[in-house]
Structure 1
Amino acid sequence: MQIIRLDQIGSTNTYVAEHHSELLSDTVIVTDNQTAGRGQRGNSWEAEPGKNLTFTILVRPTDFRAIRQFSLSEATAVAIVDVINEELGVEAKIKWPNDIYHNDSKLAGILIEHAVMGSNIMHTIIGVGLNVNQSRFLSDAPNPVSLFQILGHEVDRNDLLEKICRRICDKIAALSTQNAMDDLHDDYMQRLWRNDKRCHPFRDLIAGDTYYGSIVDIEPTGHLNIREAIDKECSQAAASDSPIRRYAFKEVEWII
């Protein structure tokens, strides 16, 4: 693993996309000042210069079928959550598909982009924005939180960066069999935010309605399955014969 540090850049994901042919697999591009950070579907990412972690990893998985690309998202999210939990003692969860939460606040975001040829992934660009030592947030983002705000003290960003990147690369390298992918999926589901068999409010962005439901599963394609609750008050768990709604990214949102 090689870490390349840049003082300032528009977007680490864009940089890697433009220079991927010059970079080895498992190369990390990190900057102290990302001026045009991107989130899912073009959302912006606020990061105070010199306070957080904004980085991108270039990975070239071997013989990795594009149909299982969500496993790369799972590996990334599980790696980040586990390092934060183990090294810092901070309870973190994965909010489907690619956010890291502490309680009901967003601690990190992940943006993954794939280059596909035929049925295989040629390379993957994994962008991560992690709120580390920022003490306050000025954007209109609804619920950000940083490790500093949780712990009450600053965290060594360089040490955290190296541990997270190493864990991500190791988890992806281990995805050589179907059993390994299945085990990873189980790990992802165990760390999933609000996957607690309870009913929660959701907003269906396709149908335009709001309802209560509980998470059933996430498919290998990354689609989220939610079972509708029996009643709007969610007075009891969703029945096994209640309808299941299936969502791709950005088709449903949690109501917090």
Structure 2
Amino acid sequence: MTETSIPLKLINILSDGNVHSCKQFGEKLYINSLNINKHIQTVYDWGIDLLKIPGQGQSNNYRLHTPLQLLDKQVIQMLLPTGRIVVLSVINSTNQYLIDRIAYLQPGDACVAEYQLHGRGRRGRKWISQFGNNIYLSIYWRLEQQGPATLIGLSLMVGIIVAEILQNIGASNVQVKWPNDLYLNNRKLAGILVETSGRSGDIGHIVIGTGINLAMPIMEKRWINLKEIGIDIVRNKLVAELTNALRNALLLFERDGFAPFILRWQALDYLYNKPVKLLRGDGKYSEIIGIARGINTQGALLLEQQGQINTYINGEISLRSYT
């Protein structure tokens, strides 16, 4: 595994956005130029936009393209009224970090990281990470029962909370896409991953992960970030707001289920009244075409097909035009 302490120290030095020389790195970190170059490569590998500026002789200077707002546990914790949060620099996955520690967690315990080595989305997809520019946040909860309807409703509820907070900070066009994405200007802004431990119907150990694109360079046209539309985020404040809002919403969801959230979903629904293709199944997908007509009180998708409304709990939706 890549050694992380020196690259993290380099990032802390560089985070002010000023030009720094390899000589400065060596003096502050007590390492030679060969090792500095190795650790600079790790900084690049983590997706940091680092500019190399020729210096004297064979030496190089470096600066960040944009200063970084690094996560600060003390600041985040001060903004939270209650509860515990772990702030990490480099982690395989914030969801997995909590899953591995479920026996020691209390509902509402949270984990946030600067960078995920192996972030994941639904169905095992890789969630692209970049150090210090996005939010990767996971929260643990316990529910008396778990099942497909409960978990879909939970994912939708989280989407509503995240969307409303982002709207409040200026992203007024954010919408939610069934079952687990947030869209802005017809492009993906954020994703939600709900993972469980325990048998269906038993007390459920739930870990909810949220990834939000704040300033990550866009590598695919289907993605968007908040910086692209001119919104600069105070990351520590946003982490605290999300954590607190999700904890409060989870208490309500635990008591009343998804029903209290359904009207809030309708105001945010990205797919409402649009033609959609529902892909169902593992491996070999079956395709179901219809018009999205919202959701029911359990969070199931309502799909109009030949004048009849059918409900679907499981599946993945993608928008496709058809005649």
TM-score in terms of structure 2 length: 0.65
Return 5+ residue gaps in structure 2 as ranges. Answer: 1-82
Kindly report which structure 2 residues correspond to 1:69-218, keeping only aligned pairs within 5 A, or say none. 69-117=151-199, 119-134=201-216, 136-138=217-219, 141=220, 143-150=222-229, 152-178=230-256, 181-195=258-272, 197=273, 199-202=274-277, 204=279, 206-208=285-287, 211=289, 213-218=290-295
Q: Distance in 2 between matches of 1:149 and 1:126?
A: 26
**Larger fraction in helix:** 2
Q: State the 1:68 CA deviation.
A: 2.6
Contact 1:24 1:58 survives alignment (8 Å):
yes
Structure 1 unmatched runs, 5+: 229-240
In structure 1, the residue matched to 2:70 is none
Count of matched residue pairs: 234
Q: Looking at CA atoms only, which structure, 1 or 2, has the larger radius of gyration?
A: 2
What is the alpha-carbon root mean square deviation over aligned residues? Answer: 2.4
Query: What's the secondary structure of 1:188's corresponding residue?
Result: helix
Return the offset for 1:175: 2.6
Are the aligned partners of 2:156 and 2:299 in contact in 1 as well (CA < 8 Å)? no
Q: 1:71 to 1:137 in 2, by over 3 A?
A: same
CA 1:247 to 1:174, structure 2 compared with 1: closer, same or farther past 3 Å? Answer: closer
Matched-pair contact (CA < 8 Å) for 2:141–2:207 = yes
Matched-pair contact (CA < 8 Å) for 1:108–1:128: yes
Paired amino acid for 2:249: K
Tell me what 2:118 maps to: 36
Residues 45-75 of structure 1: CA deviation (Å, up to 9, x unaligned): 11211100012111124x3454533332222
Q: CA deviation at 1:208?
A: 4.1
Q: Does the 8 Å contact 2:86/2:110 carry over to 1?
A: yes
